[in-house]
Amino acid sequence: MRILIVEDDFASRKLMQKFLSPYGVCDAVVDGEAAIDAFTDSLKNNQPFDLVCLDIMLPKKDGQAVLKAIRGLESARGIAGTEGVKVIMTTALGDSQKIMSAFRSQCERYLTKPVTRQCLLEEMKELGFLSDDAAAD
């Protein structure tokens, strides 16, 4: 599995890498523009990401703009619906308006920080990336 972690906070980024690295190859970027570049490169190289963990509050482009760009890139390549990358949005905000906006932008899941390993693995199980046994570890 290929995973893109988009997180500007060093500690949060390292924690996500620690949680996710046993399940796939993790690339990490620190801002929205770098996220779009990494996603574009993955498509060009025919090595698309399977999962994107995307912070909402980012420098240069926020997570909502990044998600819209990702879905636009997929659409331009004929990738639609369940064929697209799975996106878990993360944020320190518990604002229901942000949550609804994230889902309208076509993310699959939403986690409020601090993200715990168990919550993240449970979401990955729900998305079909992990078995019940792996999520229970």
CATH of the domain spanning 2-136: 3.40.50.2300
Count CB atoms within 10 A of the CB of residue 90: 25
pLDDT digits over 54-91, tens only? 998 899 999 989 999 999 999 999 998 889 999 999 98
Q: What share of the chain is helix, strand, coil (3-state, %, to 5)?
A: 50, 20, 30
Tell me the average pLDDT across 15-27. 97
Per DSSP, which regions of the chain are E strands? 2-6, 25-29, 51-55, 86-91, 109-112
Tell me the average pLDDT across 8-20. 96
- Residue 98 pLDDT exceeds 80: no
Domain parsing of the chain, residue ranges? 2-136
pLDDT digits over 22-52, tens only? 999 999 999 999 999 999 999 999 999 999 9
